[in-house]
Amino acid sequence: MNDITYGVGVGCAMNRLADEQVDFLQSAIATLIVPNIMERGWDYYRKRKVMVTEVVEGNAVYGAVSGESVYGVMLDADDFAYSTCTCPYKGYCKHMAAVFFHYYETTGGNPDAWYMEYSGKKMPAGLKGNAVLEAAASKIEDAPDQESGPSAWRDYFQKDYGEIWRHCRHSLHPLQPVLQELKGKSKLWSEPLRRVHWLHVITFVLEQVELAYASTDAYNRYYYEMSFSRSVDPWIAHFNELVTELKPVEMTVEEREWIDSLNNLLRRNALNASFTLLRWDYMLHVLWKHLAGNPELAAAERVSLDKLLADKGWDERQRSVLQAAKAQLSYRDGDDVGAIKLLEDTPFERTSLFIYEFAEQRLKARHKEGLIRWLDFIGSKLADCRNSTMLRPFMRLCREADQSWPDSGRWLDMMTQHLPYSYAELSSHLLERGKYEEWADLQLLLTVRPDELDVQDIREVAKSAPSTLLPLYHQAVDDSIQTRNRQGYKTAVKLLKRLEKLYNSSDRSHVWKRYITYLHTKHSRLRALQEELKKGKLVP
């Protein structure tokens, strides 16, 4: 190989696998990759298709290979069954072989001699021996089949992959190949069963995330919370997508068994006090958004929840999980009153996700009576709220409701009740709706000065309804004069000039003349003000 290839290799070799791990990779590659695939991988290596290799976390070789696209390869030097490639091929592929050859070269090995020995069927034996290889290969062979059911698969997940969270010391990257590997087990199943199998796989991987998060030290907990939460977003999105594809009315007996198992898992995880990173209760909520269309499933779930709620041993958080789950069934039955009653004594910060969603669904369905109930309920929960950020979702719903039913003053009343913390949303909504008089009254009520408002907002009102701004400027002028100092008088003059333009644009110049004359006479003893009025050419 040329010097360029060696240059890349030397850079990567600074962080190397242990000798026994390299030996293990040799044995794994020789044993698990079939000869025709190995030959193609050798060809890729010889043609310099491997762009880079790197050792990560001391137990895996990562590489990038240029083929029809650029593929990412991960070779696990502790457990080869976790090795993955992003190419479409299902199984141990040529890209894995090519990455191995490239990395083997960086360790000082001789890929040419290795491949010649392999081709002669003299496969190198790793220092770890074939026992480890057989264990790795057995992970492919000992998986349950399609008829085994969810319980057998959960046992398999736990037995062979239940400790993978220990490898997530700094990131969740080790879980991605597990997700791909386990999903691949059902690639030949019928679509409905493959879908529920994948839901179980994602659930299992997310459980591993919770275990990894629980093991992090308290000092760095915030960092891991942010990092892990971003990493799992695609997996949760895929979970939600799969749930939307469920057909609860058409489920077979096998699907029902998988779904019952999934429901129990999600509920158990939502009640698990040590699972604090993810919103398992919301995943359960997403599932029942689609399952509630099956009356038989919904009835069985209601019975299960009633039994659980009869237990007095739950803490507040756990009880709120069960009450929210039952509230959703009531909501899906059209019983808003019953759903609200179940949610009344739950902590709003825990159940607000569901509550807002219920209100939004009623809004989308243009179910005015139901929407009023939910918004009244939310308003009561936020009665003492002094945080505009927390109020924003409520304000958004009120704004949308006012657009759908503009003749009702109820929605504006709801927003007004939360002043001054709802000011920004209410002010913006009034402008958007063209309610300029109400907008100006709001500014007067909260003594907001024109120079404190957005310039574009002032221009919009001045263009559409200039007369509505007159009281606002009058109040600001009076306040500026009351400061009894030179700077206040200068500000008053600036405001008066703007006020003059507003009177003229309203065809009320005669009123302006009377007003400025009155002002000049009233404050005749304020010499500094009189000087500023003359400088501004407002009086002779």
Per residue of the chain (540 residues), give pLDDT as tens: 333 333 333 333 347 888 888 888 888 888 788 788 888 999 999 989 998 888 888 888 998 898 888 888 999 888 888 888 988 887 889 999 999 999 998 888 888 888 888 877 544 433 333 443 444 444 445 678 888 999 999 999 998 889 888 888 677 877 877 887 888 888 889 999 999 999 999 999 999 999 999 998 888 888 888 889 888 999 999 999 999 999 998 899 999 999 999 999 999 999 999 999 999 999 999 999 999 888 999 999 999 999 999 998 999 999 999 999 999 999 999 999 999 999 999 999 999 999 999 999 999 999 999 999 999 999 999 988 888 888 999 999 999 999 999 888 899 999 999 999 999 999 999 999 999 999 999 999 999 999 899 999 999 999 999 999 999 999 999 999 999 999 999 999 999 999 999 998 888 889 999 999 999 899 989 999 999 999 999 988
Q: 3-state SS of 133-183? A: HHHHHHHHHCCCCCCCCHHHHHHHHHHHHCCHHHHCCCCCCCHHHHHHHHH
Give the dihedral sign, CA 3/5/6/12: positive
Element (H, E) at 318: helix 316-332
pLDDT at position 8 is: 35
Q: Encoding tokens for residue 277? A: 């990173």
With contact defined as beta carbons under 8 Å apart, do 426 and 454 qualify? Answer: no
Select from 436, 437, 425 the least CA-distant residue to 401: 425
Q: Look at residue 369 in the predicted model and tell me its pLDDT.
A: 94
So what's the pLDDT on residue 142?
67
Which pLDDT belongs to residue 314? 94
Cβ contacts of 16 within 8 Å, gap of 6 or more: 55, 106, 107
- Predicted pLDDT at 364: 95
pLDDT at residue 14, rounded to an integer: 43
Domain ranges of the chain: 3-136, 145-253, 471-535
CA distance 206 to 282: 14
Length of the chain (residues): 540
3-state class (DSSP) for residue 502:
helix
* Residue 121 region by backbone torsions, left for phi larger than 0, else alpha for psi between -120 and 50, else beta: left
pTM of the model: 0.69
Q: Which two tokens stand for residue 405?
A: 């039913």
User: Distance (Å, rounded) from C-alpha 312 to C-alpha 163?
Assistant: 34
